[in-house]
Structure 1
Amino acid sequence: MKATSRAYLALAGGLLSLGFSAIFVRGAEAPGTVTAFYRMALGAAFMALPFTLHRHNRPAPRRRGILLAALAGAFFGADLTLWATGIVRSGATIPTLMANTAPLWVGLGAWLIFQERLSAGFWAGTVLALLGAGAVLGGDLRAGDIFQNGGSLGLGAAVFYGAYYLVAQRARDHLDTLTFFWISTATSALFLVIVNLLIGHPLVGYPRTTWLIFLASGSLVQIGGWLLINYAQGRLPAPLVSVTLLGQPVLTAVIAWPLFGETLNGAQTLGGAAVLAGVFWVHRAQSQPVGGEPT
């Protein structure tokens, strides 16, 4: 098999693993934050030996890199907290769709914090995506249920993922890929165990099928998805990979329909299409130079 064909298969496998991430949270007989904790904790545990072997006889990572990776992990833990809670409240599809607006918040954060220049295409895509999000969340906005709705929690998760991405970019200036992955994953697990303890969610006492879901989340989603997508990113054009991964909420919706009977009404379907189109527009705008270096 040609290397390019393997890369496309890896990208498809990575997309499939991401599509199932929300399905696992939805199907587990446990609070969303507990499933998220085991995803990160088992992911860190499974990668502990490869990480240790990787670091053997290498100089210790720089303190700044460690702190940035830990901060990124905390932001990712906050992202998972809101996203997984939203799934338990409102199903797998809408919170995942809203969480995929993260590129908007990455761009806005880069503009506000690092004074990076953004093109007209970015702003147009952002407006379209936010209008679509308003259509998806419309009923809850009118009912005043914005902070309790799963879609709104998914939107909040996207903001935290944007913060994770911006910090991760800086951390990767000081750390290699595996070191960053392990430190950030372990920190996310620590963040999530604290969240569960504060809320009062038990970490044990779940059915066998739920433990199998925890195992699948840690191995197939956190590790398998990461490995496959990183493999594809190293061999395929970045715009192709990023746009393909926009299919995650679509795949999640396709899987959730027969499994859980989740459907979208007309306004939500049109709004969801607008969200994906807007995010696609943002991706295209960010992959094209806007003239000059960031100021």
Structure 2
Amino acid sequence: MTKATERGGILAILALILANVALATGPLFVRMADTGPVSAGFWRLTLALPVLFLIARQQREPMTGYRTSIWWLLVLSGIAFALDLASWNFGIERTKLANSTLFGNMGSVMLVVYGFVIGRVWPHRAELGAVAFAILGAGLLMGSSYELDVRNLVGDLFCLLAGVLYVVYLLSIRHVRGEMGSWSVLVWSTIFGIGPMLCIAVLLGEPVWPTDWTPVLLLALVCQLFGQGAMVYAVSHFSPVVLGIALLSQPAIAALIGWRVFGETLSLFDTIGMVLIGVALVLVRLPEARRAARLAASPPAP
């Protein structure tokens, strides 16, 4: 057992497991909602906002008084997150649940490409392998989707676009975390994301007001509050590799839900593609884990 695990004990392990289970149910609730998929995302943010605000106040995190540049980054983060959620929810209804979860979580691999192209930082061998496995796995999944139905391929592409937009969201909040608490960042990014999501839903002609509130309430409570909250707690107790491996439970759970509820089956190429992307999600975290291990093992400064 690692020192990080010892700090959290069984509670951290349970939080990590439950977080991944909760987040994997998101696509199910989106499909169950009698609103449009983007509208479901709008309610996910709107219903969760009051609770996020109360948590931020309870943690005594300042909500105002930031520099103008910080506000612009918060606006960017909200718009990026809204577009990410809209693309992902739109794709969920057009592809298999397992595919949507895998492509939606490929942001960590895309960050490697960002660092290489924009930051001119050559990736480690593990990161290069992760990119290669991710591309090959995505190609197999998309090819299988196209053979099944071209609409499934469109769903894959929208979920992949969601992964790109999530990287934009992560990069924008990365620059404000030094001046803001994590909960206040979530509050403001949620506030600035609600408007764009509603506009997109209206422009697409989706029904916005639900007649059955159960799916959107579950989406907000189980995924946005419980799932994200448990992940925020667990993430500080485990190494990046452990988190990467735990992340792989999400597409597996989504695949099980898709099979049991919607009769979705996985072909051989689907399975191989999922395994390759899963390996990529673990490989991409290896250099970070090694850097953390070296820092932990280095002697303290005199």
Q: TM-score normalised by the shorter chain: which range applies?
A: 0.7 to 0.9
Map of 1:11 onto structure 2: 16
Structure 1 unaligned runs (5+)?
290-295
Map of 2:296 onto structure 1: none
Rounded to whole Å, the distance in 2 between the matches of 1:44 and 1:33 is 17
1:281 is the counterpart of 2:297: no
Q: TM-score, normalised by structure 1?
A: 0.88
Rounded to whole Å, the distance in 1 between the matches of 2:89 and 2:278 is 20
1:25 is the counterpart of 2:30: yes
Q: Which moves more between the two structures, 163-172 or 126-135? A: 163-172
Question: Post-superposition shift, 1:46?
Answer: 2.5
Map of 2:179 onto structure 1: 174
Rounded to whole Å, the distance in 1 between the matches of 2:146 and 2:8 is 48
Q: Which moves more between the two structures, 53-62 or 18-27? A: 53-62
- Contact 1:76-1:188 at 8 Å conserved across structures: yes
- Contact 1:72-1:167 at 8 Å conserved across structures: yes
Q: Kindly, what percent of the aligned residue pairs are identical?
A: 24
Deviations along 1:29-85, one digit per CA (max 9) or x if unpaired, are: 222101111111111133233334555777623333332222122111111111111
- Contact 2:133-2:279 at 8 Å conserved across structures: yes
Aligned-CA RMSD value: 2.5
1:188 is the counterpart of 2:193: yes
Runs of 4+ in 1 over 6 A off after TM superposition: 56-59
Map of 2:298 onto structure 1: none
1:256 is the counterpart of 2:258: yes
Map of 1:36 onto structure 2: 41
Structure 2 unaligned runs (5+)?
1-5, 292-302
1:134 is the counterpart of 2:139: yes
SS in 2 for 1:174: coil
- Contact 2:146-2:153 at 8 Å conserved across structures: no
Rounded to whole Å, the distance in 2 between the matches of 1:144 and 1:173 is 46
Question: Post-superposition shift, 1:135?
Answer: 0.6
Map of 1:84 onto structure 2: 89
**Which amino acid in 1 is paired with 2:111?**
V
Rounded to whole Å, the distance in 1 between the matches of 2:270 and 2:63 is 51
Rounded to whole Å, the distance in 2 between the matches of 1:152 and 1:121 is 25
- Contact 1:95-1:152 at 8 Å conserved across structures: no
- Contact 1:126-1:279 at 8 Å conserved across structures: no
Structure 1 segment 160-239 matched on structure 2, within 5 A: 160-204=165-209, 206-208=210-212, 211-239=213-241
Question: Post-superposition shift, 1:201?
Answer: 1.6
Structure 1 segment 56-67 matched on structure 2, within 5 A: 60-67=65-72
